[in-house]
Each structure stands twice: as structure tokens, then as C-alpha cells.
Amino acid sequence: MIKVTGLTYIYQQGMPFEKKAVDNVSFEIPTGDFLAIIGHTGSGKSTLIQHFNALLKPTQGKIEIDGIDVTDPKTNLMEIRKNVGLVFQYPEHQLFEETVYKDIAFGPKNMELSDSEIEKRVKSSALAVGLSEELLQKSPFELSGGQKRRAAIAGVLSMSPKVMILDEPTAGLDPKGRDEILGELSTLHKQNPDMTILFVSHSMEDVAKLAEHVLVMDHGRIAMHGTTSEVFAKSGELKKIGLDVPQITELTHRLIKDGIDIRPDIYTVKFASEIYKNLIKEAENV
């Protein structure tokens, strides 16, 4: 379980460009959760997630992960980074090794694991992101855009973190690449019920497809935190802070405004087609 208490982070404190990026934020994330963090650019999402693996130290407040205070300067950094994996935006820009294998092995090597253990982890994490074994001996720079992205994600996965955080994992990919990554994340979540996955996203469609819970940030604060259906049901509030809702949700809310009796928490095509089919058939049969 992750427990965030009164977390505040101020950029360049005391300088001309001082900015409160995260403002007294408190919340809890249960173990095994699949949480989407949404909010427009500058709402504090990226700053917030960098606290989970101690890349940033809070100005105030603390974060406990399974009872360990990761914001305490005395906590061993390696221990934190082993447990909390963070995949940055466009992670393929950080690939550097001669082979994909070596790049994925970078994390486990830093953890000073045995060679056989490293090999095991490299192979299993490559498999988890759908990279075939013959790609492992290639240079990462020969891979396609989508493959590079997946190799970079495998590079964090290979550290076997308890908490996996991804900053906009599908940014800049084409629809196929997007669906592949989303599919792998979903499988990862199903196969590792104890792994907590957090991802930042601007795509409401992605959030709708994957997340169990959604945390909405606005101006460094938490605007909403609830199950995906609870959050999308409040499309008015989301729009007020400048966020979109999935097209399907928007459609449903427009129909509700017209006086049609539909539940407000519809956000996937699959579920929507079920509901609308019944609704239309009912109307036709009356």
C-alpha cells in the first residue's frame, strides 16, 4: 500500500520563478491497484510521480510504501528504486547499450544480481512486453519506434518493482503501437496481482480501457480520486478543469441532458454498445 501524506513540492524555492507544483496532497493507493493519473500539463502529475522513487525530495510531507518512508533521507536509495520502477515519457530516448539485452540488464546489474538471475529477468521482462528473443541481440537503435518503447519499459520491469509507474506510456505512438503497449500493461496487471501500476495519461480513451481508479490533479491539488466510472460520471467537473472525457461518455451525457434515462458511468465502447442496444431495442419494441 502507498500512503501519501501532506506532500508539497516547491520548485526553486526563494527564487524568482518559485512555483508550488504539488500542494499539500494526501491519498492512499491499495496494493495491486491500476491507477491512472490525469490532469493537464503543469497540474503537478510529473512532479508527483518523481517523489515515489525519491528522484525528488518533498518540501513537506511524506510517502510510505509498504510502511517504508521513501522520503526519509536515511532510507537506502537503491532499495527504493528496486521497489519502485519509473518509466519516463519517451523512455526510448534513454536507451544506450550496444544490445537490447544489455540495455534491459542495466537495472538488474546496478542491483548487483547474479548473471543467471539477470538473464532470467531480462528474458522474462522482454517476453512480458512482447519482444522476441532474437531481438535481444540487436542494437536498440535498429528497432522500430514501438519496439524501442517496449524495450525501454522492459528495462524498468527487469528490476521487478513492486510499484510500476509510467509517464504517458503511449505518447507519440501510432494506434497500433498504442494498442500493443496498452495490451501488455493490461496483461502485466492481470499476471501480477501484487504489482501496483500507476500511469499518467492524457488520453481518456486509454484511461477508460485500463484503469481501475483515477486520480485527477489540478493546480497541484487532487481534484478527484475514485473508481474510473465514478470519475467519468462527473464529466461536468472534468470539463471545468479543462479535461476531456471519452467520446462515449460525452455522448451519454448529452443524451442524459435530453432527458433520456441512461446510467452516467459509461466509458468503454463494449459496455456502451450493450447498454445502447438494449435501450434502442426497448424503444423500438414498445
- The set of residues, in sequence order, having a beta carbon less than 8 Å from that of 186 and lying 6+ positions away, is 209, 210
Whose Cβ is closer to another protein: residue 34's or residue 267's? 267
Q: In the set 3, 120, 212, 276, which binds another protein (CB under 8 A)?
A: 276
Distance CA 111, CA 162 (A): 15
Q: In the set 60, 111, 192, 212, which binds another protein (CB under 8 A)?
A: 111
Instruction: Please identify, among the stretches 119-127, 128-136, 217-225, 240-248, the one whose residues bind another protein according to the rule CB under 8 A.
Output: 240-248
How many CB atoms lie under 10 A from the CB of residue 136?
19
Q: Which single residue is written with the C-alpha cell 426497448?
A: 282
Contacts 24+ apart (CB under 8 A), 181-185: 181/146, 181/149, 181/150, 181/153, 182/206, 182/209, 182/210, 184/128, 184/129, 184/130, 184/150, 184/153, 185/210
Instruction: Please identify, among the stretches 68-76, 127-135, 169-177, 216-224, the one whose residues bind another protein according to the rule CB under 8 A.
Output: 169-177
Distance CA 250, CA 247 (A): 5
Residue whose C-alpha is closest to residue 180's, from 148, 158, 135:
148
In the chain, where does DSSP find H-type helix?
45-52, 77-83, 100-110, 115-128, 145-157, 175-191, 204-210, 228-233, 235-240, 247-257, 269-285
Closest distance to another protein from the beta carbon of 53 (Å): 6
- The set of residues, in sequence order, having a beta carbon less than 8 Å from that of 77 and lying 6+ positions away, is 54
Q: Which single residue is written with the C-alpha cell 496498452?
A: 182
Q: In the set 176, 191, 194, 236, which binds another protein (CB under 8 A)?
A: 176
Whose Cβ is closer to another protein: residue 26's or residue 174's? 174
Number of residues that bind another protein (CB under 8 A): 68
Distance CA 193, CA 17 (A): 42
Q: In the set 4, 33, 36, 53, which binds another protein (CB under 8 A)?
A: 53
Whether the Cβ atoms of residue 64 and residue 2 lie closer than 8 Å to each other:
yes
Closest distance to another protein from the beta carbon of 227 (Å): 20
Closest distance to another protein from the beta carbon of 14 (Å): 10
Closest distance to another protein from the beta carbon of 223 (Å): 16
Instruction: Confirm or reject binding of residue 74 to another protein (CB under 8 A).
Output: no
* 1-30 residues near another protein, rule: CB under 8 A: 12, 15-16
Whose Cβ is closer to another protein: residue 201's or residue 224's? 201
Instruction: Confirm or reject binding of residue 280 to another protein (CB under 8 A).
Output: yes
Instruction: Confirm or reject binding of residue 57 to another protein (CB under 8 A).
Output: no
**Chain residues that interact with another protein, rule: CB under 8 A:** 12, 15-16, 40-41, 50, 53, 55, 78, 81-82, 85-88, 91, 93-96, 106-107, 110-111, 141, 144-146, 155-156, 159, 171-179, 202, 205, 242-244, 246-248, 250-251, 254-255, 258, 260, 269-270, 272-273, 276-277, 279-286
